[in-house]
Amino acid sequence: MAANMPLEEIGREVRNIIADALKRPVEQVPLTASLESGLGIDSLAMIEINIALEERFRFAMPDMASPAEANLKTVEDLSRFVAQQLAHQKGRLV
Amino acid sequence: MTALNLELRHPDERVAAQRTPEEQRAHEAREVAQHYEHNPEIFSLVLDKRLAYSTGVFLSPDEDLETAQARKFARVAAKLNIQPGEKVLDVGCGWGSLLLYLAQHTEGQFHGITLSSKQREVALQRARDWGVAERVRVDLTHVEQLNPAPESYDVVLFSGSIVHMHNREVIHQLVGRTLKPGGRLFISDCYFPAEMRGDRDSSATRYIFVTALGYCRLLSLSEELNLIERAGLDLLHVEDLTSSYVHTLGHWIDNVRRNRERIEAMAPGFSKVLQGYMTVAKLSFAKRTALEYMILATKGAPKVHVAGWPIPGNAR
């Protein structure tokens, strides 16, 4: 159940998904990496990552054109945000 | 009249401007059709029941997609006021959503054209199913290739299609010639604000215009209106539907989410393309870095009287 997944595991999945989207090895995507300045995630990459997160965790991410719009600075921020959304939506798809 | 210098707003328009009209027509026929050649079953999971691939008209965000699309169809029908026997050309008729609605609700003669053979098949099948096949014809062709005879149609429609056409002055001159006196032009489509707003060279813009939809050219509204006037038509009515498109896209995106596994089973990767480009579009309309308008123009004396169209409150 994605809703009960530990934060550590969510973090691992988020790193994998970002690495996939950016076509980089996952080692280059630590939890501490900055999404925009460090990894260079632009509007389209953010949208693609959000869709991949939705596919993986079967929930709905809110619209955002950049990580900053949702106050997300690092990979860890995004992981915590996903965990919060999962708990809030209790695994509902839409 | 000298040709109008339309602004080239993103890199793919600059590439298109280097092609001959024939090369660009072939490019549009090939690249644009790809999106619409996907299994129609996929679009039936995402769009309303008539398969309108254009914005509905939402009076409030709480309305559902069917209500908003039904209002749009009824509104377009009222704007066009099609009389028995009048000839209607729907350029880029898709799966026949608007064409067949108008065929069912008027006694006109309907000719749709599309670049997708799958869309043509669906439109013709539905024309038979809905009992209007004897007044509906659908051909697989580009409008520049069709090159209809002067004064041969009473109404020309472009609903979510003119955006795929680069050589807009050619298209408008063709429409101007093709319409009979009293004829109407209807467009429902997407425009850029006249002043630069947002990043038009971004990867997100390229994704929606090229990767997802093949070829798109967004003019500013004033450029399109200018071309319509230069083709000898008079503007009757322009309506902003930008916020309605935000709601329409929200419903489409939710439908992609609900049907992700079924879409992926039919076309691996396509649910991501749909959700990706629809999200870019939704964010753009929400920020008004892209705008959506319905345009109505007439050749000579109008057949509808727009002064009587209702607006709310005391201004009526």
* pLDDT tens by residue, B132-191: 999 999 999 999 999 899 999 999 999 999 999 999 999 999 999 999 999 999 999 999
Q: Does B65 touch chain A (CB under 8 A)?
A: no
Q: Considering CB atoms only, which of A45, A51, A93 is closest to B272?
A: A51
Residue that the structure tokens 């467009």 belong to: B187
Residue B49, Cβ density class (10 Å: 0-12 exposed, 13-18 middle, ≥19 buried): exposed
**Which chain A residue has its CA at the smallest distance from B271's CA?**
A51
Q: Which residues of A touch B272 (CB under 8 A)?
A: 48, 51-52, 55
Q: Does B263 touch chain A (CB under 8 A)?
A: no
Q: Residue A78: what pLDDT? A: 96
Are the CB atoms for A62 and A55 separated by under 8 Å?
no
Q: What's the ipTM?
A: 0.89
Identity (one letter) of the amino acid at B183?
A: G
- Cα distance between residue B97 and residue B73, in whole Å: 9
Contacts of B63 (CB under 8 A, 6+ apart): B247
Interface contact flag, B276 A47, Cβ < 8 Å: yes
Architecture of domain B31-301: 3-Layer(aba) Sandwich (3.40)
Q: Considering CB atoms only, which of B203, B257, B258 is closest to A44?
A: B203
- Cα–Cα distances (Å) from A84 to B28, B47, B194, in that order, read 44, 31, 41
Compute how many other C-beta atoms are within 10 angstroms of the C-beta atom of residue B128. Answer: 11
Q: Does B262 touch chain A (CB under 8 A)?
A: no
- Domain A2-89 fold is 1.10.1200
pLDDT per residue over A26-61, tens digit each? 999 999 999 999 999 998 999 999 999 999 999 999
Q: Å from A65 to nearest chain B CA?
A: 7
* pLDDT > 70: percent of chain B: 97
| A vs B: CB pairs below 8 A | 46
What's the pTM?
0.93
Contacts of B233 (CB under 8 A, 6+ apart): B175, B176, B179, B185, B297, B298, B299
Domain spans, chain A: 2-89
- Cα distance between residue A19 and residue A25, in whole Å: 6
Are the CB atoms for B114 and B88 separated by under 8 Å?
no
Q: Say whether pLDDT at B4 is over 80.
A: no
- Phi, psi (5° rounding) for residue B61? -65, -15
- Cα distance between residue B242 and residue B190, in whole Å: 9
